[in-house]
Amino acid sequence: MKLLHKGKQTIVFDESPAILSSAAIGGKKESEGPLADYFDYTSKDTSFSQTSWEKSESKLQELALDTAKRKLDVKYADIDVLFAGDLLNQCIGSSFALRDTNIPFLGLYGACSTMAESLIMASAAVNAGYVRLAAALTSSHFASAERQYRFPLGYGGQRTPTAQWTVTGAGCCIVGTEGSDIHVKAATIGHIEDLGIKDANNMGAAMAPAAISTLETHFSDLGCSPTDYDLIVTGDLGSLGKKIVIEQLAKDGYDLSENYNDCGCMIFDLKEQDVHAGGSGCGCGASVLCGYLMRQLQTGKINKLLFCATGALLSPISTWQGESIPGICHAVTICKEG
Amino acid sequence: MKLLHKGKQTIVFDESPAILSSAAIGGKKESEGPLADYFDYTSKDTSFSQTSWEKSESKLQELALDTAKRKLDVKYADIDVLFAGDLLNQCIGSSFALRDTNIPFLGLYGACSTMAESLIMASAAVNAGYVRLAAALTSSHFASAERQYRFPLGYGGQRTPTAQWTVTGAGCCIVGTEGSDIHVKAATIGHIEDLGIKDANNMGAAMAPAAISTLETHFSDLGCSPTDYDLIVTGDLGSLGKKIVIEQLAKDGYDLSENYNDCGCMIFDLKEQDVHAGGSGCGCGASVLCGYLMRQLQTGKINKLLFCATGALLSPISTWQGESIPGICHAVTICKEG
């Protein structure tokens, strides 16, 4: 039963926990992008009828959880545990979204890696038999992130060419023992990589080393290669981080040129939507996984997916103190079988 | 293998994962309190020779992890996964402490419940056979917490009688399959309770409902009672929250008068150390558990401990927006056996 061996970072889920339901929520800009049709719900009102941007973000999580729950036709009381987190200080996007649900709650902080982290935790809890149903949930909101990490929106600050656009979106997966042909097969838990990048407007470059490390560890731990997957996606490296990943993996003997993409490059039209290097935020990978990618799996357009969400574990304070940006990446193998 | 059943929140760890090593680190005030002798290391220099309070807090975690690792005579490479979090925005206390360790890392946010949450995760990972060695780690620092949550220290603000004093401290446990007679037997995962308390200077009252809920759920799920434990402790409710817990549980038929205490009331001398309602912060429950309480277990002064860490899932932003304070509490049964 020892699935993770000395020096390896990959767990194989021998009971193949299944993703029974998922939901993706998006904002206005997301509803105008290439993946518009794959959201369960989008709103032209970016505030989602709330009185603060933080409450809007909580609303995104409420909608994602409620939608995933209704699709599965269960109640909150049927969900045995929920793993969630977000980018807001003290993760209030999650705690305020969940406070009336009475679902046993374990909070996470993995920055933009949270969709992978929460899905790993939920799958691990189901696979071990600790719970029957576990939910994984995360979100980000452009306006709450901008004012917390960068500038108040009203300031009208210029954005650098390397900057990314925080996705207003949320994703939720509900994992159980059986009842779907989409299974979580393995997970690679990343360690922090920090190569000294200090530019908080170039998150793609800061997070790319973690993605590279986790991808190569995943291939090495399982003795597999990129061609074993129909699609490999990272969470929100954007166009610059994506390029770094492709180039470095090529140098290291892994060809990602055919079947690799980044959710930050998929969710927006980078030429038309003025998002510079692409989408970012927990909600980027989360809404692309729980919307578009789950649909690709359900319809058999892809059967083997490696979902790698990356997080930049900085804060505005650490940047102001001149620190570099620690990155992390967790990878999850999701397969359609049966 | 289904350990958590419908409507219940408690996992029984059937493989009895063992706490193989622990370490507690404290600051100056903690070194002057009643539990001074139980820290592995305390510093009269609250900055821990660092150039910012945030770096001091990371140093606390580095010291706790390094000490626990050295006690067990292992290397970082032997630790298969580490669960950590803290109170700082984006949990930079943890991410900067861990960035050079290369340990697979899953970040948590449970506010002051983090020691229980991380110990539950580490125990669950070992119990399921996912890993051989898992570490649980958290910290808080008086100065980094004050300036983030309340006022800059130089402002010299007055504190209300209900206020608590954030502990400068860290705790780390390393959990494995065998090699110690101190075992993690069960865990109750709490849900959020929010009874509408809005006073961010009265965290004890805000978190007490979560402690009450989780304690009663624990007793009910396992069909046990307070007398089944030698000691029941909450993490950092302080004197006011402790009183609320005792009174409400008495009303509900559970007598806590003989064997219940709160780490926030234990770590400081409430009369002499000017800490008002007692200690608080992730480092409060963490350093008391990993120092004093582990020693009590090791020496057989107590054999059955119920450790319940409580967290207030607010942020300064949520308080400024007039929101009430969501609380959470997770409970862990730790027993000396054999």
One-letter-per-residue 3-state SS of chain A? CCCCCCCCCEEECCCCCEEEEEEEEECHHHHCCCCHHHCCEECCCCCCCCCCHHHHHHHHHHHHHHHHHHHHCCCHHHCCEEEEEECCHHHHHHHHHHCCCCCCEEEECCHHHHHHHHHHHHHHHHHCCCCCEEEEEEEECHHHHHHHHCCCHHHCCCCCCCCCEECCEEEEEEEECCCCCEEEEEEECCCCECCCCCCCCCHHHHHHHHHHHHHHHHHHHHCCCHHHCCEEEECCCHHHHHHHHHHHHHHCCCCCCCCEEEHHHHCCCCCCCCCCCCEECHHHHHHHHHHHHHHHHHCCCCCEEEEEEEEECCCHHHHHCCCCCCEEEEEEEEEECC
Tell me whether A315 touches chain B (CB under 8 Å): yes
Tell me whether A149 touches chain B (CB under 8 Å): no
Kindly tell me if the per-residue pLDDT of A3 is higher than 60: no
Cβ B253 vs Cβ B215: under 8 Å: no
pLDDT at A5: 60
Spell out which residues of chain B touch residue A109, defining contact as CB-CB under 8 Å.
Answer: 85, 90-91, 107-109
Q: Which token pair is B219?
A: 């007793």
Are the Cβ atoms of A106 and B110 closer than 8 angstroms? yes
CA distance A62 to A1: 36
Helix or strand run (H / E) with residue B312:
strand B304-312
For chain B, the helix, strand and coil percentages under 3-state DSSP, each to the nearest 5: 40, 25, 40
Please classify residue B243 by burial: count the beta carbons closer than 10 Å to its beta carbon, then call 0-12 exposed, 13-18 middle and 19+ buried.
middle
Q: At what angle do helices A142-149 and A53-72 cross, to 10 degrees?
A: 140
What is residue B245's three-state secondary structure? helix
Tell me which residue has tokens 């004197």: B239
Q: What angle do CA A221, B184, B93 make, to 5 degrees?
A: 65
Cβ neighbours of residue B227 under 8 Å, at least 6 residues apart? Answer: B255, B258, B259
- Give me the mean pLDDT over the A94-118 stretch: 98
| AA identity, residue B80 | D
What is residue B42's three-state secondary structure? strand
Min distance B327 CA to chain A CA atoms (Å):
9
Kindly tell me if the per-residue pLDDT of B2 is higher than 60: no
The Cβ of residue B230 has, within 10 Å, a number of other Cβ atoms equal to 17
The Cβ of residue B190 has, within 10 Å, a number of other Cβ atoms equal to 29
Cβ A328 vs Cβ A120: under 8 Å: no
Report the complex ipTM: 0.97
Which A positions 197-236 lie with beta carbon below 8 A of chain B? none
Min distance B304 CA to chain A CA atoms (Å):
23
pLDDT at B1: 41
Tell me whether B112 touches chain A (CB under 8 Å): no
CA distance B54 to B254: 41
Spell out which residues of chain A touch residue B7, defining contact as CB-CB under 8 Å.
Answer: 77
CA distance B1 to A15: 11
pLDDT at B73: 98
Cβ neighbours of residue A310 under 8 Å, at least 6 residues apart? Answer: A112, A113, A207, A208, A210, A211, A234, A235, A236, A237, A241, A327, A328, A329
For testing contact with chain B, the best of A59, A101, A106 (most B CBs within 10 A) = A106
For testing contact with chain B, the best of A78, A91, A92, A109 (most B CBs within 10 A) = A109
Helix or strand run (H / E) with residue B186:
strand B182-188
Helix or strand run (H / E) with residue B116:
helix B114-127
CA distance A319 to A202: 12
DSSP B292: I
Distance of CA B107 to the CA centre of its chain: 15
pLDDT at A156: 84
Across all residues in chain A, what is the average pLDDT?
A: 96
Tell me whether A81 touches chain B (CB under 8 Å): yes
Kindly tell me if the per-residue pLDDT of B3 is higher than 60: no
Lowest mean pLDDT among B172-176, B196-200, B227-231, B289-293: B196-200
How far, in Å, are A117, A162, A166, A270, A311 from residue A282 at the CA level? 11, 18, 8, 19, 8
Least Cα distance to B54 among B102, B23, B100, B87 occurs for: B87
Cβ B204 vs Cβ B139: under 8 Å: no
Compare all CA atoms of chain B with the CA of A3 and give the residue at the minimum distance.
B130
Are the Cβ atoms of B130 and A190 closer than 8 angstroms? no
CA distance A24 to A144: 19
- Give me the mean pLDDT over the B143-166 stretch: 90
For B28-69, write each residue's pLDDT tens digit. Answer: 999 999 999 999 999 999 999 999 999 999 999 999 999 999
CA distance A334 to A279: 22
Kindly tell me if the per-residue pLDDT of A248 is higher than 50: yes
Spell out which residues of chain A touch residue B17, defining contact as CB-CB under 8 Å.
Answer: none
Compare all CA atoms of chain A with the CA of B7 and give the residue at the minimum distance.
A77
Q: B279 has which bridge partners?
A: B165
Spell out which residues of chain A touch residue B318, defining contact as CB-CB under 8 Å.
Answer: 54, 90, 92, 96
Strands B41-42 and B81-86: unpaired
Task: Please tell me whether the overall predicted TM-score, pTM, comes out greater than 0.95 for this model.
Answer: yes
For testing contact with chain B, the best of A130, A138, A146 (most B CBs within 10 A) = A130
For B212-263, write each residue's pLDDT tens digit. Answer: 999 999 999 999 999 999 999 999 999 999 999 999 999 999 999 999 999 9
Helix or strand run (H / E) with residue B78:
none
Are the Cβ atoms of A109 and B117 closer than 8 angstroms? no
Q: How many CB pairs under 8 A join A and B?
A: 190
B5 confidence band (pLDDT: 50, 70, 90): low
B153 confidence band (pLDDT: 50, 70, 90): confident
Tell me whether A310 touches chain B (CB under 8 Å): no
For B56-110, write each residue's pLDDT tens digit. Answer: 999 999 999 999 999 999 999 999 999 999 999 999 999 999 999 999 999 999 9
Across all residues in chain B, what is the average pLDDT?
A: 95
Tell me the residue ranges of DSSP E strands in B81-150. Answer: 81-86, 105-107, 133-140
Are the Cβ atoms of B107 and A328 closer than 8 angstroms? yes
Tell me whether A134 touches chain B (CB under 8 Å): no
Spell out which residues of chain A touch residue B109, defining contact as CB-CB under 8 Å.
Answer: 85, 90-91, 107-109
A4 confidence band (pLDDT: 50, 70, 90): low
